[in-house]
Structure 1
Amino acid sequence: MNISPEMLTLVMFGGLMIGLFMGHPLAFVLGGVAVVGAFLGPGTQVMGTLINNVYGNAMDNYVLVAIPLFILMARFLNDSGVTEKMFDAMRLLLANLRGGLALTVVVVSVLLAATTGIVGASIAVMGMIALVPMLKYGYHKGLSTGVIMASGCLGILIPPSIMLILMASYSPVSVGALFAGALVPGLMLGAMYALYVLIICHVKPAYGPLVPAEERAGTSTRELLIMLAKYVLPPMSLILGVLGALFTGIATATEASAIGVFIAFMLFMIFGDRKLKTCFNTLIEASKTTTMVMLVLVGATAFTGVFSRGGGMDVISELVLSMPGGTIGALILMLFLVFILGMFLDWTGIVLLSFPIMLPIIETMGIDTLWFVVMVAVVLQTSFLTPPFGYALFYLKGVAPPGVETLDLYKAVIPFVALIILACVLMAIFPWLITGLPSLMVGY
């Protein structure tokens, strides 16, 4: 049986959506749809080629070694317990500002993004240590929950990020250049969230009231400086060790990830409970996360391989290039499709499905690949925030106190999704926000 490329496109993407809505794991849905697509389209002989693509190309990619190492680094730091202490130090530093607790969430989340990069863990931890105090002091429910979810999602954008590593392995852009290109947009989004908190708490003081004076006066300047030095500087050393080695050209992404694991393990030994059981559980959790990513990679490689051999790539390419508005219209369509896919898929599936289709189109149109990849990374922030499958909503709901309803969380993300869209507009108008730092890198 050899159906037309147009029909194959409908069958494969329709089957993908049906499988996901039925609740099946993404990796198995992708692989299953690939097998069905091979029978209906290019023929089962294509499956032999796909095995070579998976094990001969994807699994032989040296860059992908950095993924399990960065995941392990994140798990060691997360299990060290330094996050709670870092939050307490930053909370005292910003206690004299309206919305100080919400600002603390943004600052600590940015630091966590640059050290752990695990969205679920960041949101869950910040939800447990920050949400109850904010609600206790009378913070607006929408501001409290929204800032935790949006700031926690920065972990997939601010380097080192396993999403950026996966993107680099599927594009001609190096990991180092992609890390450098995403750094300014990630910090800019964090700054926009902080500015939003400051403005809304100034316009509506009830949204972020001051912490009671007696609590603000309970810590001396000397004690505060000691806390900052003890609990904020160590994670900063991890950030500088990894990104510094990478940006200066001293180490590759894989080598920098190994440096990160070593520093994170030292922090775990200093701040953690140093129990063998905890260390073993950390290794198990890192292995589970790595396995999930790699299984999706295998399924997506099979899916895109069948889709390409069946002529589906040409169908999508013709559709995009025929859009009114030329290059701008095509760009808007592709970024909009990423935004829509984010409502149903996680970032892993979106990257592995969209990049083999979109990047050849981008190269045909002569658009800077680095700029486009980072733009997609920024848009993918919304994949955790937009219903119905906004994972950040469910991460926070799982640790939120009684009284925080799912509808409250849906409403809370709206201003932050708007800020992400505004950031995309700014980066489209001023592309040097993405390309400026990579142009200064050694060897770029």
Structure 2
Amino acid sequence: MIELSAEAITFLMLGGLFVLILTGYPIAFVIGSVAMGTGLLVFGPTTTFHILYTRFYDLSLNYPYLAVPLFTFMGVILQHSGATKELYDNLYESLGSLKGGLALVTIIFGTILATCLGVIAASVTILTMMALKPMISKGYDKGLASGSVIAAGTLGILIPPSIMLVVYAPQAGLSIGQMMIGAFLPGLLLSSLYLLYVYIRCRMNPSLGPSIPKDEIQPFTAKRLWSLTKSLLPTVVLIFAVLGTIFAGLAPPTEAAAIGCLASVILAIIYKKFSWALLKKAAIETLRVSAFVVMIAAMSYAFVGIFMSAGAGDVVANLILSVPGGKWAAFAVIMLIVFLLGMFIEWIGIVFIIVPVFSPIFVKLGFDPLWAGLMVCVNLQMAFMTPPMAMSIFVLKGSAPPELGITMRDIIRGVFPFIGLVWVALILLTIFPQIITWLPHLMIAK
């Protein structure tokens, strides 16, 4: 064992984590190796293995994490149920005549999809396959089309049901139900900002998003209104099945997730898409995602256990609390740290590492923990859109048809304005915190 100051251990662990992430090794192995190496160096094998064992054991008994496989299963079943295609087609026929109409449809469809899917890869893939080709074929700017798909697809990690909220809440000692209800309006705020940006941009420069030809425009009749309403019903059913039961206090989030699974299976049966092959595919995807989450969670638990036991958490807390400018300057520093981490680390690693460190700081600064937690979650939207670690960008690039000629330059150019809009949303949520806290307070009042 080596005697090191808490400051040196902080530098060793955070610096080692950053350097090893740049090597490209899987994030779980990087986090776990830094934790193990530092623990053996500072505490020795006995204490290190005790810390790791107790952390892993606590994780295995964390009941709320059962919602992760349940929401994943629900999302995969819905993805293949056929309900989403009918909805997109109806929105396309209703709004395609507007300047930028197809991009607006994509964002609206992505917002609706976000209330059903909590897995980013699924949302972005669906939007890419259904929306990107129609936009490009109608002459849309490749950057605007790509940015709209990525921004809309990424909403699924914020708008409930969201795996991020399920992972974040237990780490911060918050209610998953309250976080889900609190995330609903910020998600709609982001969606509204995206829609406003696309509409204004295409009004100023119609060549970026031309409307569909007049001979393809169909009159909006009562029959079309009924078709649109009918295609929205699956989403309404799922929202009521999950969020409705949570808000009404009928079931906690884990049980509500199980109800959502049942509702998605029923919808797949109604649309005649349910089969044993689909059930097998959903089970395998659920196992893959759940194993990914648990693996990173276990390694991150180990990292945080060693980090906090060595006093490094106090070093970070004292550093942030001593920032000149008071609590708002300290909060701005935290938001900047989260943003920068999102460029290099996957969101789940960020959540498991920073939440145990930053949550006590939020309390010391006098912030509402629920509001502060959801501000971090909104901030993490950018982690999916900021290179080099930008999962949404890579999912779109990998799933986009090659004949469309979408380049990484097109995607990155198109996504930057939406990153700026997330910062605008953070500012608005800071000025008007009630956007986050209003619905959860209604829930508590009940």
Name the TM tier (shorter chain). Answer: over 0.9
**Shift of residue 316, structure 1, vs aligned partner:** 0.5
Between the aligned partners of 2:236 and 2:160, the Cα distance in structure 1 is 13
Q: Identity across aligned pairs (percent)?
A: 40
Q: Which residue number corresponds to residue 331 of structure 1? A: 331
Instruction: Give the alignment partner of residue 410 of structure 2, picking from 408, 411, 427.
Output: 408
Between the aligned partners of 1:337 and 1:42, the Cα distance in structure 2 is 28
**Shift of residue 65, structure 1, vs aligned partner:** 1.2
Amino acid at match of 1:70: F
> Would the aligned equivalents of 1:3 and 1:40 in 2 still touch at CA under 8 Å?
no
> Would the aligned equivalents of 1:63 and 1:165 in 2 still touch at CA under 8 Å?
yes
Between the aligned partners of 2:141 and 2:360, the Cα distance in structure 1 is 46
- Residues 1:43 and 1:364: Cα distance change in structure 2 (over 3 Å): farther
User: What secondary structure, in the 3-state scheme, does the structure 1 residue paired with 2:292 have?
Assistant: helix
**Pairs within 5 Å for 1:250-399:** 250-271=250-271, 273-399=273-399
Between the aligned partners of 1:235 and 1:269, the Cα distance in structure 2 is 15
Q: Which residue number corresponds to residue 246 of structure 1? A: 246
Instruction: Identify which range, 295-304 or 170-179, moves more after superposition.
Output: 170-179
> Would the aligned equivalents of 1:153 and 1:384 in 2 still touch at CA under 8 Å?
yes
> Would the aligned equivalents of 2:181 and 2:440 in 1 still touch at CA under 8 Å?
yes
User: What secondary structure, in the 3-state scheme, does the structure 2 residue paired with 1:412 have?
Assistant: helix
Deviations 1:383-414 (A, max 9, x none): 00001111111111112244211011111111
Q: Which residue number corresponds to residue 427 of structure 1? A: 429
Amino acid at match of 1:408: D
User: What secondary structure, in the 3-state scheme, does the structure 1 residue paired with 2:344 have?
Assistant: coil
> Would the aligned equivalents of 2:143 and 2:412 in 1 still touch at CA under 8 Å?
no
Between the aligned partners of 2:29 and 2:343, the Cα distance in structure 1 is 19
Between the aligned partners of 2:390 and 2:358, the Cα distance in structure 1 is 24
**Shift of residue 220, structure 1, vs aligned partner:** 6.5
**Shift of residue 443, structure 1, vs aligned partner:** 5.3
> Would the aligned equivalents of 1:335 and 1:376 in 2 still touch at CA under 8 Å?
yes
Structure 2: stretches of 5+ with no match in the other structure = none
Between the aligned partners of 1:124 and 1:420, the Cα distance in structure 2 is 21
Q: Which residue number corresponds to residue 99 of structure 1? A: 100
Amino acid at match of 2:190: L
Q: Which residue number corresponds to residue 84 of structure 1? A: 85
- Residues 1:84 and 1:309: Cα distance change in structure 2 (over 3 Å): same
User: Are 1:192 and 2:193 counterparts?
Assistant: yes
Aligned length: 442
User: Are 1:163 and 2:129 counterparts?
Assistant: no
**Shift of residue 378, structure 1, vs aligned partner:** 0.5
> Would the aligned equivalents of 1:249 and 1:443 in 2 still touch at CA under 8 Å?
no
User: What secondary structure, in the 3-state scheme, does the structure 1 residue paired with 2:24 have?
Assistant: coil
User: What secondary structure, in the 3-state scheme, does the structure 2 residue paired with 1:393 have?
Assistant: helix
User: What secondary structure, in the 3-state scheme, does the structure 1 residue paired with 2:306 have?
Assistant: helix
Between the aligned partners of 1:441 and 1:88, the Cα distance in structure 2 is 35
Structure 1: stretches of 5+ with no match in the other structure = none
> Would the aligned equivalents of 1:115 and 1:160 in 2 still touch at CA under 8 Å?
yes
> Would the aligned equivalents of 1:362 and 1:369 in 2 still touch at CA under 8 Å?
yes
Q: Which residue number corresponds to residue 132 of structure 1? A: 133
Between the aligned partners of 1:362 and 1:226, the Cα distance in structure 2 is 48
Between the aligned partners of 1:163 and 1:347, the Cα distance in structure 2 is 8
> Would the aligned equivalents of 2:13 and 2:34 in 1 still touch at CA under 8 Å?
yes
User: What secondary structure, in the 3-state scheme, does the structure 2 residue paired with 1:441 have?
Assistant: helix
User: What secondary structure, in the 3-state scheme, does the structure 2 residue paired with 1:98 have?
Assistant: coil
**Shift of residue 82, structure 1, vs aligned partner:** 2.1
Instruction: Identify which range, 242-251 or 400-409, moves more after superposition.
Output: 400-409
Between the aligned partners of 1:79 and 1:32, the Cα distance in structure 2 is 38
Between the aligned partners of 1:415 and 1:228, the Cα distance in structure 2 is 30
- Residues 1:443 and 1:63: Cα distance change in structure 2 (over 3 Å): farther
**Shift of residue 284, structure 1, vs aligned partner:** 0.3
Instruction: Identify which range, 366-375 or 33-42, moves more after superposition.
Output: 33-42
CA RMSD of aligned residues (A): 1.5
User: Once superposed, which parts of structure 1, at least 4 consecutive aligned residues long, lie more than 3 Å away?
Assistant: none
User: What secondary structure, in the 3-state scheme, does the structure 1 residue paired with 2:399 have?
Assistant: coil
* TM-score, structure 2 normalization: 0.96
**Pairs within 5 Å for 1:19-168:** 19-44=20-45, 45-55=47-57, 57-168=58-169
**Shift of residue 270, structure 1, vs aligned partner:** 2.3
User: What secondary structure, in the 3-state scheme, does the structure 2 residue paired with 1:398 have?
Assistant: helix
* TM-score, structure 1 normalization: 0.96
Amino acid at match of 1:77: L
Deviations 1:158-177 (A, max 9, x none): 01111001111111221111
User: What secondary structure, in the 3-state scheme, does the structure 1 residue paired with 2:172 have?
Assistant: coil
Between the aligned partners of 1:153 and 1:142, the Cα distance in structure 2 is 16
Instruction: Identify which range, 349-358 or 203-212, moves more after superposition.
Output: 203-212
Amino acid at match of 1:208: G
